[in-house]
Structure formats: structure tokens, C-alpha cells
Amino acid sequence: MPWAYWQVAANSYVIDEEGVVLSDVVPPEGAPIIQDLSNPVRLVAGDHVDADAVSLAQKLLQQVPQAVAQNIAGFEYSLDKGLTVLTEAGYRVVMGDSQNMAYKLAVWKGVEGKLGQETMSGHVLDVRFEQRPSYQ
């Protein structure tokens, strides 16, 4: 079943919930877009994109609005950083992979609670490394 778009440069590919590229289908209106910043290859039906990133995006769409009181504007993916969340408040959160997601959400909520959304706008919070979150 079509779930989202995996975008590589100017090309958008429809993917299912497991990260398989589909053809001749359209995902539901308002489907998420994951912008792949590191993959210049052309994809064809049946190819697989990063399944962990796709699974993490699904979980974040469900949990972030309640856990952090923040809406997701989009996602970016790169081989070196994994999945990054773009927030409607104008900042990014580098999540990496799906490991320790509850911890990462708790750190995110704590940093946003301390700094505030307005202060975080235009910045990047990296929660990939346990005990060493960074804010730029």
C-alpha cells in the first residue's frame, strides 16, 4: 500500500510502509515526504530504501505531536546522519535511527522545554548519541 514519497533530487518515488518503491500508485493526500540528501541513484519499482528510516518516520508522526507538542513539517535522510525531523517551528532534530527512541524524544522535549520553540528556530538538535546530545 502506498504510504509516502521518497524524494531524491527532483525525483519523487512512492514507497510503502516497509520502504519498497512502488509504481503507478499515489499515496494518500498529505503523505509524508522523506528528502534523501545522500542518494543520487535512480530508483525503480521494487527497490528498497532505508527501512529503519521509514519505520522511524512512521513512529515519529504518531508520537511527536503528543510527546513534544510539536508538528512535523517533513523529513530529511542521509547515510551519515540517518533521519532528521523538520519541525513546523523551524528547527531540525537529528534522530539517526530508531534505537532508543523514547530517550531521544525525552531529550528533545527537555531541550525544547528549556530553550523554547522560538529560540530553537533555525537550529539543529542532534540526539543520536546517548548522553551527548548537541545543539547548534
Note whether residue 44 is domain-resident: no
- Residue 23 DSSP code: S
Angle at 82 between CA 44 and CA 111, to 5 degrees: 145
Question: What's the pLDDT score for residue 49?
Answer: 96
Same domain assignment for residues 67 and 128: yes
Same domain assignment for residues 30 and 61: no
Sheet with 11-16, strands from edge to edge, namely 21-22, 11-16, 2-8, 33-36, 72-78, 82-87, 92-96, 124-126, 134-135
Note whether residue 43 is domain-resident: no
pLDDT digits (tens, 9 = 90+) for 99-116: 999 999 999 999 999 998
Q: Which amino acid is at 27?
A: P
pTM of this structure: 0.94
Neighbours of 133 (CB within 10 A): 18
Note whether residue 61 is domain-resident: yes
Q: Which domain holds residue 59?
A: 51-135
- What's the CATH number where 78 sits? 3.40.50.11690
* pLDDT beneath 70: ranges in the chain: 39
Same domain assignment for residues 56 and 121: yes
Count Cα atoms within 13 angstroms, Cβ side, for 130.
Answer: 7
Number of domains the chain is built from: 2
Same domain assignment for residues 117 and 86: yes
Neighbours of 15 (CB within 10 A): 25
